[in-house]
Amino acid sequence: MKTAIGIDVGGTNSKGIILNSEGEILNEYSVPTNDDGEGKWRETILEVVQHLKSVHYEPIELIGLSCPGFANEANSCISYMPGRLLGVENFQWEAYFATRTFVINDAHAALIAESAFGEIRGYKNAILLTLGTGVGGGLLINGELYQGLSQMAGHFGHTTINAGDDELSILGMPGSLEYALGNYSIKRRSSGRFSSTYQLVQGYKDNDPFATWLWLDSLRKLSLAIASFANALSPEIIVLAGGITKADAALFTPLNAFLDVYEFRPKEKQTIIKQAKFSDLAGAVGAAAFAIEKAKNRTTPAIGLPHI
């Protein structure tokens, strides 16, 4: 298979792309996920697939789907996803799409995209953080995606930043990085003043005092998390992906200033911080790349990275 559809099921929007084996995005399509608590969001995903198939010049017989949660060992479905996307657990996408389909955790997919075609290419040890509705992550060790027990490695968003915060993440962690930065919590964190991180960043750009405090407080916590990950794992590079990275300088300039304070830099060495090449399409690109590689040998274990 040289071409595949990649779908990234996000908490806010679901994005689809058509990808070839050279990493070129041939087409893309995005719609609101509509996670209404009744499982109707699956119809939205089917719409994305049908649209992409309809606009391509030849039949597409392969789909990669990235989604929050833990994929099963066969990469045929998400086996565990509490709290969101009702009906996703053990849902068999291949039968639903009537197309050969491989399923992978969304942050793991983003790491694959950046390792195969993006900013992590050429590095052996790296961390990728996805900043969007929540905060996810992926870990590259010696050139391979490390998935760990139950394929749950890389859930950096559930690192505790403030243990005194009673707000628990979906994995039960108090004061998590995901709560401090994720789009899902912005209404609570801002006492209802902002309904999205986009609005918060706009307020920061407009010099609104409250928005400035809240945004910089979130980035300070992100910097503390990044410095902690660097201390524990010492990666060569940390790449940030996801919709929040579209804030560009409003994100990276304060973040780097905080890292100047908190990151341990022996002999002036510091961790490279970069924005993902594929931004909020990283999950979809990685899912398609993963499917192309898996289709070469369906019995391949769900580890490693694509060698496209």
Q: Report the b/e string of 83-117 with b at 16+ CB within 10 A.
A: ebbeebeebebeeebebbbbbbbbbbbbbbbbbbb
**126 and 213 share a domain?**
yes
**Residue 183 DSSP symbol:** G
pLDDT in the model for residue 20: 93
- Distance from the Cα of residue 97 to its chain's centroid: 23
pLDDT tens for 236-263 read 999 999 889 999 999 999 999 999 999 9
94 is written with which tokens?
Answer: 């291949």
**148 and 20 share a domain?**
no
Q: Which residues contact 53 (CB under 8 A, 6 or more apart)?
A: 5, 59, 60
pTM of the model: 0.84
**126 and 204 share a domain?**
yes
**171 and 236 share a domain?**
yes
pLDDT at 299 over 70: no
Average pLDDT, the chain: 90
**223 and 210 share a domain?**
yes
**62 and 134 share a domain?**
no
Number of domains in the chain: 2
According to DSSP H, which parts of 137-208 are helical? 177-181, 186-189, 197-205
Which residue in 290, 288, 295, 285 sits closest to 306, CA to CA? 290
pLDDT at 174 over 80: yes
**129 and 269 share a domain?**
yes
pLDDT tens for 26-56 read 999 999 998 877 778 999 999 999 999 999 9
Is 19 strand, coil or helix? strand
**165 and 93 share a domain?**
no
Length of the chain: 308
Q: Is residue 61 part of a domain?
A: yes
Domain with 68, as residue range(s), is 3-110+280-296
- Distance from the Cα of residue 258 to its chain's centroid: 23
State the Cα torsion 282-286-287-292 to the nearest 10°: 150
Q: Is residue 92 part of a domain?
A: yes
CB count within 10 Å of CB 122 equals 10
Q: Is residue 62 part of a domain?
A: yes
State the Cα torsion 125-284-10-32 to the nearest 10°: 160
